A and B are shown apart, each in its own frame.
Chain A
């Protein structure tokens, strides 16, 4: 395969990147020479991969994530690794051990998270497209806050092999880009079965976006326009949905009653899985070496206390508690029931409608350091986590602005109907441009 290089020495005023590859190599293929940024929780052979955590500082994976291999063989130039909330735990990218990323639309605001670096790199025009990961909104939130497009694929459509796990049962790798076409192109490269990921599906993505949505039925859940949602944001999104109606779609009001428990189910599930996933970072193989003069359990504790940030420690403690004997039934098992209820709600609604639309985020991007209380931060995920709990595809497409900041229109579809949510987003994009 022919190898070429492009120089990649950008200014990075918003601190989108943790690592840049200069020059970046690329080959032949459909993405030949296209600069692609990769979130720092996706393993890249020979390129430091830290999850924005001190505990992984200096870790250079000896292998490529499946999607990175696919990118390379499609000819893409991997130009660097992007900033994020430590291990994906956050909604602002402020929880990075290496400093926050700023929002290119307003540097006094956060870019959203946890894939804030990827979104900012695209929004700032540093790269045409980027990979992120979405556990509870981590692609869609920064896409909405930065005014770009982001897709969380159906669970199983993109291999997670090499994605440093935060919450295995919820997360997916997905594309971020300036346009729906770019999202679709990148999705075409990364989707498909991988024998290394037992949860992956043999459902490759071969699709060219089509703008025709005549006869499409759109469900409008009341919960997406209710309490906690900024009325200005809700207005912008309602207008966007009206545009879709002008294109021939019809809307149907609906309700997702299980959303009452969705956030709780989400946080119990993801913290439980995270407490187990992150246990391996004990100083024996990664991070600063432990004090070998101490008994190993003491040394482990010290390494972990010093190596993880506050939010990560908080979630590990929550998850450890939720799984402990005597509490498993109360928390983890209950969360799985609530999750099943969310799935059933979506199934019921998708009997009558083709997609569901609403705001991606309840507000515009926060000011830096605006959200200090973890609970109010968790509440910001309320509109994105249902898609992760149900595993369904969901896209965020820019649909106007409020207070000069971008607002995202979220479109969720039936399981494995990623093509359809892409088409609806494309139809909107074409209608407004």
Chain B
């Protein structure tokens, strides 16, 4: 299907740090984030004269897992190359990467397309490379007094996953990234919570115009933001009849905008040539020994089949490894089978409340969720009380206070559902009817909104503990009786 003029076209280059114990070419630990600068270094990752790279087998295995999971083809004889450029954070003045013989070619990743349904995003290649060090600019990046170099990050294994220009909106790009993250996490080769573990360069164009490369996107949300900014910028230019330059732009995360890179940075000749200190990689046969775990798509299908989740809940729940595991812990903790209810409460309510607090799922105890869902299932509390209980639990966790069980919160706040028999509720009903004659009149004339209003008034009087369904039935009965 050919794209129409004006269609947004996006391709991504995603760099992910592989979560190996040691660096790509030396024995230094990759666990540097909590340590001081230049503490995880050795002659090799400092690029000292005479030091030579020795390949970390584990990094290649991790990369091959990813390649297999993404349906790529491992090439017979992959090769490392040197990418030569000067930059103060690059200790050897070249990066060992892969150029014309990358580890894997082709493959695809399925995402939920904007048009609904599954959509295949084709991959071009996956290659392995080393991370450079980091510059710490003292003061303003442009006019700082000086910069410090930290080589702790130098030599951390990266994979670069390059997609074809198959995405048609910033939203699809974000979905691609989320799905990719989930897949890498399921494979246990990637830790998305480590700062700087993911970096994205995006190619974006409007059909019929030149392509722009946006570099330096370092967050999941940033991808959608940066691309949305670019779509607007490019469409505005086209609308004004201006030409879009083929160029590289940097994404400035703090300001949410992209900015043209200096022309000097755009004219790199990296002078690639095969790394003479490493042998070609003949690893295709390793594929036979790689056993893949259950991946997001398979798990989603299983959640639908096994737990009766709705397709959309199943997609949300399996979209993050931790969330999927959490859901299964909750479901397994309840033998009476609360799956669909648990799915709703986790995928919709819990996620919403966590996002509101910018809180990690790690802080939530599955046992609390099991307790809460059981209270809801048994009809002990209303949905409204359920939300209240969840908020109490999350707030206590968030603030690091002592936590109560859902049962204890029900008792303390007296959230047990009011008796639903008529005798206990009738006085409340009569009170509301007496106080709102106009609404009663409207309700009698078939205006549903008035019925809801009356139920709301009654809920207020019972402090949310009554079942709104029961209240509604009672109103209809009483009003009808009074008519007679």
Contact = CB atoms under 8 A, between A and B. Distances in A.
Interface of A: 41-43, 49, 51, 56, 59, 61-63, 65, 160-165, 167-169, 195-199, 272-273, 275-276, 279-280, 282, 284-286, 292, 296-297, 300, 320, 323-325, 328, 332
B88 A276 contact: no
Contact of B92 (A49, A62, A280): A280
Given A63-B43, A63-B51, A198-B54, 4 more contacts: A61-B48, A62-B48, A65-B50, A162-B50
A41 B49 CA distance: 9
Contact of A197 (B46, B52, B94): B52
Contacts of A285: 46, 91
Contacts of B93: 276, 279-280, 282
B85 to A, nearest CB: 9
Interface in B76-134: 82, 84, 86, 88, 91-94
B412 interface: no
A331 B84 CA distance: 17
Contacts of B53: 198
11 contacts: A49-B49, A62-B48, A167-B276, A197-B277, A198-B54, A198-B278, A199-B278, A279-B93, A280-B47, A286-B49, A332-B273
Contacts of A169: 276
Given A273-B276, A328-B273, A56 B49 contact: yes
A296 B88 contact: yes
A199 B52 CA distance: 10
Interface residues of B, number: 29
B90 to A, nearest CB: 8
Q: Is the interface of B mostly helix, strand, loop or mixed?
A: loop
Contacts of B269: 324-325
Interface centre among B52, B93, B94, B146 (most CB of A within 10 A): B52
Nearest to A168: B276
B271 A284 contact: no
B238 interface: no
Contacts, number: 99
A292 B146 contact: yes
Closest 8 pairs between A and B when the two form their complex, measured CB to CB: A279-B93, A323-B271, A168-B276, A169-B276, A164-B49, A162-B50, A43-B50, A164-B50
Nearest to B43: A63
B408 to A, nearest CB: 59
B279 to A, nearest CB: 6
A297 B86 contact: yes
B54 A272 contact: no
Nearest to B25: A198
A43 B43 CA distance: 11
Interface in B13-66: 43, 46-55
Given A273-B276, A279-B93, A61 B86 contact: no
Nearest to A323: B271
B223 to A, nearest CB: 30
B149 interface: yes
Contacts of B94: 276, 279
A43 B84 contact: no
Interface centre among B84, B149, B271 (most CB of A within 10 A): B271
Contact of A323 (B47, B48, B50, B273): B273
A250 to B, nearest CB: 38
B278 A61 contact: no
A198 B279 contact: yes
A320 B46 CA distance: 23
A62 B49 CA distance: 11
B265 to A, nearest CB: 11
Contacts of A196: 52, 54
A41 B50 CA distance: 8
A318 to B, nearest CB: 13
B52 A161 contact: yes
A61 B49 contact: yes
B43 to A, nearest CB: 5
A197 B48 CA distance: 15
Contact of B86 (A42, A282, A292): A282
Contacts of A63: 43, 48, 51
Contact of A272 (B92, B273, B279): B273
B49 A279 contact: no
Contacts of B149: 284
B50 A161 contact: yes
B51 A162 contact: yes
A107 to B, nearest CB: 31
A279 B84 contact: yes
B47 to A, nearest CB: 6
Contact of B49 (A167, A280, A325): A280
Contacts of B146: 292
A285 B148 CA distance: 12
A56 B49 CA distance: 10
Contact of B82 (A197, A276, A297, A320): A276
B51 A199 contact: no
Interface string B143-184: 000100100000000000000000000000000000000000
Contacts of B82: 276
